[in-house]
A and B are shown apart, each in its own frame.
Chain A
């Protein structure tokens, strides 16, 4: 009897293999294989057709010595840093304001939705919209500035080194702060309200509450935001690629060329696929390293 129950249970659990099989097959083909294949190609010379020829770590030494690779990484990090500071700063301020028990602000649902709106739109559309709005001579943004006498001459936002990178950083922050705000707010709402009430009874001020209750309890969520934003941010491609035009990608002065744009150039334009693969893996290890650092610094002991 006992044995019969056991075999029935075993048969039942065998059904699970059937349930997960389609996932595993597709996962192996379209997720695992490409990752492994990229690794293999990074050790070869490959033009995109014919057979790849093994050349050891030549691609990697080339990447590490390539000053344009490092420049692209520097550009990416620069744009990402401005973005993350603005994005998290704004998201934190909003979280503090909306979770304040003294002000009891209403309309969270509507504000949240409006703040999230920019994140919903395809980056291609956002890029075009801002490219046109920020046009040097005829863009609406410069016209608005002229009309309100904030400037007396049009600013060439995307055409000069000093502003172009900042424009990308600000647009990115504009696209993502709502997302971070929603996540942080969800985290705050998960904190039992008696913590805040107890703090209020003890007479703790707003910043004290934030520093001693909200921030420590939000740490895992902050870590999540920091890691996902880093993984996404260091892969920046659409915005700078599309806002600088097809023949002038990365201009002005190469300050907008990101690492993935650099990878795209070699992988799909000049057909040095092996080199592009090595760029991909080098970037991956850099992302991995910084993620681990983030875990160490933000994650603290719990993780």
Chain B
């Protein structure tokens, strides 16, 4: 009996914690549909009728859909590049013996530990020299080299791919690259997919690097565009429009999460599992 009551209390606490996680997002969605005056004068858990007005005010100031498409233009190719090149690198490291293999592995582990801000100044300087400021290239191409993903996929391919399968393909006369595309890639697909969701969200949410690289307002990605709302004083008067702007940036990720939460959570767990 005591266990039952305790269990009940635990559930209530757990649900309360869940509400704490969700409440700010709920208020965001509610306030996105209320007028600035309503928001400043009263508190409500229920939606209002000003969604359209807020929409007009917000898009009068900034076209968030442009930011949305810009973010897609960066995040989609970056994710695809990370997926393909991390897989082929992991495969090359895990299944073949070559000079420098161990060294590369050690360097990868070291770079996984290096904080990103260490290279920020040098990275910007490099982009200046290559005339890549205000271009998407430095946001996309570096995705080819993602040490963390290679590290994970290397373990993954070692655990899932058998050498005898590759031998069988070789006897059939398949070339090495052919083996990778036809046999290895499909076997690695679940691992690649798990990692790719995380990569995509990371790219989608990235702020500091696009902030320093992109100057033209039309090229800004969604997080950078959202951050410009900070400077919009006429918008500060209408909180409803700000909430709507934030909601537009948040809801797509919530929808993705609703469908893929299982994969996302398994990718987090996987990241921590030791060799």
Interface residues of chain A, those whose CB is within 8 Å of chain B, are 12-20, 22-24, 26-27, 29-31, 33-41, 48-49, 90, 94, 97, 102-103, 105, 109, 111-118, 120-125, 128-130, 132-133, 135, 137-138, 140, 143-144, 147, 174, 178-179, 182-183, 185-187, 190, 220-221, 224-225, 227, 231, 234-235, 237-238, 242, 245-246, 260, 263-264, 267-268, 273, 276-277, 280-281, 283-284, 287, 291
Contacts A/B (CB < 8 Å), 11 sampled: A34-B122, A37-B122, A38-B122, A109-B262, A124-B223, A124-B224, A130-B24, A183-B272, A263-B117, A263-B120, A276-B121
Assembled-state Cα–Cα distance A284/B125 (Å)? 19
> Interface of chain A, helix or strand or loop or mixed?
helix
CB of B11 within 8 A of CB of A121, answer no
CB of B117 within 8 A of CB of A103, answer no
Assembled-state Cα–Cα distance A283/B118 (Å)? 8
Which of B117, B125, B177, B204 sits near A273, CB closer than 8 Å? B125
Binary A-proximity of B1-43 (CB < 8 A = 1, otherwise 0): 0010011001100100110111011011001000000011011
Complex interface: chain A residues within 8 A of B265 (CB) = 112-113, 116, 182
Complex interface: chain A residues within 8 A of B86 (CB) = 23
B119 is an interface residue with CB less than 8 A from chain A: yes
* Contact A120 to B201, CB < 8 A, known contacts A27-B145, A105-B10: yes
Shortest beta-carbon contacts, A-B, top 10: A19-B92, A37-B122, A34-B122, A186-B269, A16-B96, A38-B122, A34-B119, A122-B205, A27-B145, A143-B43
Which of A24, A115, A283 sits near B21, CB closer than 8 Å? A115
CB of A105 within 8 A of CB of B145, answer no
Of B46-54, B55-63, B188-196, B241-249, the stretch lying at the interface with chain A is B241-249
CB of A15 within 8 A of CB of B273, answer no
Complex interface: chain B residues within 8 A of A15 (CB) = 92, 96, 175-177
Interface positions of B from 153 to 207, Cβ below 8 Å from A: 170, 175-177, 180, 201, 204-205, 207
Assembled-state Cα–Cα distance A231/B113 (Å)? 8
Instruction: Name B231's closest neighbour in chain A (CB-CB).
Output: A246
Interface residues of chain B, those whose CB is within 8 Å of chain A, are 3, 6-7, 10-11, 14, 17-18, 20-22, 24-25, 27-28, 31, 39-40, 42-43, 85-86, 88-89, 91-93, 95-98, 101, 104, 111, 113-126, 128, 138, 141-142, 144-145, 147, 150, 170, 175-177, 180, 201, 204-205, 207-208, 212, 222-224, 226-227, 229-231, 239, 242-243, 245-246, 249-250, 253-254, 257, 261-262, 264-265, 268-269, 271-274
Complex interface: chain A residues within 8 A of B180 (CB) = 19
Instruction: Name A225's closest neighbour in chain B (CB-CB).
Output: B272
* Contact A284 to B115, CB < 8 A, known contacts A31-B142, A117-B257: yes
Known: A22-B89, A277-B121. 9 other contacts (CB 8 A): A35-B114, A115-B18, A117-B22, A120-B257, A122-B207, A124-B205, A138-B40, A186-B268, A221-B274
Which of B21, B249, B269 sits near A178, CB closer than 8 Å? B21
Assembled-state Cα–Cα distance A23/B104 (Å)? 10
Instruction: Name A185's closest neighbour in chain B (CB-CB).
Output: B269
Assembled-state Cα–Cα distance A140/B35 (Å)? 13
CB of B226 within 8 A of CB of A116, answer no
